[in-house]
């Protein structure tokens, strides 16, 4: 998955009615492009659980790539980051000014 890393946070902790604890996971939020059937794209926010949030902290605001898995349940697709996966920063190749060609 590619996108701009916008935020890192810890999900709120609590207990359900059965007395079981929930929450407390590290989460990341990515803003990425979603392809539409008509060929256009729209922006969408993806919130994913991160196993090691320290791998992400230095990349806030940057375009990153992270491996993801997907689980489909009916029409709902849930994405997850496989354990051991680390983000890579997308880089834009720098053009050599002497190799540029101008066209108008």
- 87: pLDDT confidence band, cut at 50, 70 and 90? very high
Q: For the segment 39-60, what is each residue's pLDDT rounded down to a tens digit?
A: 999 999 999 999 888 999 999 9
CA distance 1 to 64: 8
pTM > 0.85: no
| Structure confidence at residue 22 (pLDDT) | 87
| Structure confidence at residue 92 (pLDDT) | 64
Residue among 54, 46, 40 at smallest CA distance from 87: 54
- 95: pLDDT confidence band, cut at 50, 70 and 90? low
| Structure confidence at residue 98 (pLDDT) | 53
Proportion of the chain in helix, strand, coil states, percent, rounded to 5: 10, 45, 45
| Structure confidence at residue 91 (pLDDT) | 76
Q: Is 82 a residue whose pLDDT tops 90?
A: yes
Q: Is 103 a residue whose pLDDT tops 70?
A: no
Q: Is 96 a residue whose pLDDT tops 70?
A: no
């Amino acid at each position: 998955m590619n996108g701009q890393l916008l935020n890192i946070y810890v999900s709120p902790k609590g207990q359900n009615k059965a007395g079981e604890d929930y929450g407390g996971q590290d989460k990341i939020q990515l803003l990425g492009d979603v392809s539409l059937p008509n060929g256009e794209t729209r922006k969408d926010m993806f919130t994913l659980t991160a196993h090691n949030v320290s791998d992400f902290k230095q990349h806030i605001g940057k375009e990153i790539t992270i491996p993801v898995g997907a689980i489909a349940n009916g029409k709902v697709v849930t994405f997850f980051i496989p354990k051991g996966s680390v983000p890579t920063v997308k880089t834009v190749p720098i053009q050599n000014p002497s190799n540029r060609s101008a066209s108008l």
